[in-house]
Structure 1
Amino acid sequence: MRLAEAIADAMTRLQAVSDSPRQDAEWLLGDRLGYSRAQLFTRLDHELAPVDAEFFERLIARRAKGEPVAYLLGEKGFWTFSVAVSPAVLVPRPETELLVAWALAWLNDLDAPTVVDLGTGSGVIALALKLERPDAQVTAIDLSPEALVVARGNAQRLGVAIDWQTADFGEWLLGQGAAQDLIVSNPPYVAARDPHLASLRFEPQMALTDGFDGLNALRVIIANARHRLRPGGGLMVEHGFDQRPAVQALFVEAGFDGVETRLDLGGQPRATVGRAP
């Protein structure tokens, strides 16, 4: 079987589960063979060795059941780097890069800022902020020890030092400690009845949904964040595209000033910030 035939067959099988079946197939086959997608394109007439064909078949079978490509490859690109991922953490989304860009702009005029990432998962937000601002003191919190194993490994590979802590959102926010310049979070915000959860069944559900209306984690974070922020410090959260009114109301109710929501690259309301008075 030629590479072109293997890709075409995989595309047909992946159409029901993927918006980009060709890209998925090429990534998986290229990873197996050690080729980039561009290199793969110049070798489409090459024969696929039986051992490679068998391995590729197993990958496509798993992808056809809905397993994310990132889990099959073991890594995912984010911001300017790649991180290791596993079923212990969410697959990083491009939408979350908005949170990073906005956070960096917020920190732009601060020297040696202190930043906390609540619900860090694979660590991508904390890692991006530390890589862009080496002078920042970055703390990353997650309730899952398994997720922090992945995050610590990513930090080690990227050569950055972050204070990783295993804790619950509420417990950490109500605990004792230094006031922070910025708290950022991409918490579980998918409602339990959201039909999209069915397509995300391979990812850790506790990182996706609160099992209720999708606002519980946001309620806890927004209601208690001022306890751990310095005056003028910022709270920045990612949320669902249809949650802007509710999230803004929570910020106002908690006494934040300058509440503002920004759109992601798809034009959807995706992140909201408020300043502690």
Structure 2
Amino acid sequence: MKRQPLRLAILEATRILERAGVVSARTDAELIAAYVLGVERGRLPLVPLVDPPVVEAIGRLVTERAKRVPLQHLIGWAAIGGIAVDVGPGVFVPRPETELLLEWGLKLLRGREYPVVVDLCTGSGALALAVAHARADAVVYAVDNDPNALAWARHNAEARRSAGDTPIRLYSGDISDPTVFAELDGLVDLVLCNPPYVPEGTPVPPEVADYDPPQAVFAAEGGLAVIRHAVSAAARLLRPGGGVAIEHDDTHGKAVPPLLRARSVLTDVVDHADLAGRPRFVTAVRA
């Protein structure tokens, strides 16, 4: 069997994915190739030729991706903050734009020893585990009300613990309940939240509509219902000087900041754009 140029296989994969409407076609094609080869994406140029079975394996995954099966479901994981978390049916797939929210939170924690961190609506546990990976001295709490999501979060927490990261403290609960983490009121350095925030009825890509759990994507009150609870939780949990970062829909740039400004204990309210320049997350500091 004659070996074939990997570059041509990636180009063909890119064309197929573009025709299928995949926005990140080239990136996905390269990540699929890297997954099949068992190498990092950046090392693909070091693999000029591949055997036909490799090309066939890439083709099979590309065919599935062209059906708009999420890339992360095909390869089994999503990256965030220097770690990978396992994802699949029943749990929300972390998005690249959430990295910016994480970066803000880690910057706030610089110079603080043994910070207390709370991740609301943790889903796969991605944010909580990324913080624990970056800050071994942090005490990280995470909560979700979805049993399926919590099962994934427990799996990921155990995997990161086995890898040597500091264990997180994972809980089942609803952030609308004012008693959730009541023992931490006024003691938390950082609250992070990537809640369901897409307004109900909003058209979403097939990867979201067909694979992400609806309760992790959509929210009532124009997408603001869960965000309101996150703001309330942050206002009671944070210690003076502590900060909160909450992700929101790109249509919420003018709606969410006033929710934080309405809390007299929250100051320095700033809305932040994602890499595409769209309003994406809001931050504030406890006075």
Bin for the TM-score computed over the shorter chain: 0.7 to 0.9
After TM superposition, the structure 1 = structure 2 runs for residues 1-277 of structure 1, keeping only pairs within 5 Å, are: 2=4, 4=6, 6-15=9-18, 16-37=20-41, 40-41=44-45, 43=47, 45-49=49-53, 55-158=57-160, 159=164, 160-171=166-177, 176-179=182-185, 180-201=188-209, 202-255=211-264, 256-277=266-287
Distance 1:172 1:166, change over 3 A: farther
Over 3 Å counting, the alpha-carbon distance change for 1:107 and 1:3 in structure 2 is: same
**5+ long unaligned stretches in structure 2:** none
Q: What is the aligned residue count? A: 275
Equivalent-residue separation in structure 1 for 2:26 and 2:148 (angstroms): 32
Q: Distance in 2 between matches of 1:40 and 1:109?
A: 38
Matched-pair contact (CA < 8 Å) for 2:192–2:246: yes
| Contact 2:197/2:223, CA 8 A, preserved across alignment | yes
Residue 7 (structure 1) shift: 4.0
Q: In the TM superposition, what is the alpha-carbon distance from 1:232 to its structure 2 partner? A: 4.1
The answer to whether the 8 A contact 1:117-1:183 is kept is yes
Amino acid at match of 1:13: I
Q: Aligned partner of 1:220: which letter?
A: H
Distance 1:35 1:109 in 2: 36
Tell me: CA distance 1:236–1:26, structure 2 relative to 1, closer, same or farther (3 Å). closer
Measured after TM superposition, the shift of residue 74 of structure 1 is: 0.5
Cα deviation, residue 211, structure 1: 4.7
**For residues 64 and 106 of structure 1, do their structure 2 counterparts lie closer, same or farther at Cα, with a shift above 3 Å needed?**
same
Query: Structure 1: 5+ residue runs without aligned partners?
Result: none
Alignment identity in percent? 36
Tell me the CA shift for residue 172 of structure 1: 5.4
Is contact 2:175-2:233 (8 Å) kept? no
CA-based RMSD of the aligned residues comes to: 2.6
**TM-score normalized by the length of structure 1:** 0.86
Does the 8 A contact of 1:89 with 1:203 survive in 2?
Answer: yes
Contact (CA 8 Å) 1:173, 1:227: kept in 2 or not?
no
Q: How much does 1:204 deviate? A: 1.8
| Superposed displacement of residue 210, structure 1 | 1.1
CA change 1:47–1:193 in 2 (3 A) is same
Taking structure 1 as reference, are residues 23 and 99 closer, same or farther at Cα in structure 2, changes over 3 Å only? closer
Shift, 1:9, TM fit: 4.1
Does the 8 Å contact 1:28/1:56 carry over to 2? yes
Instruction: Output the CA distance in 2 between the equivalents of 1:218 and 1:122.
Output: 19
* Per-residue deviation, residues 39-69 of structure 1 (Å, max 9, x unmatched): 65455554413xx566444422321111111
TM-score (normalizing by structure 2):
0.84
| 1: CA distance, partners of 2:73 / 2:33 | 14
CA contact (8 A) 2:173 2:180 kept: no
1:112: how far off? 1.6
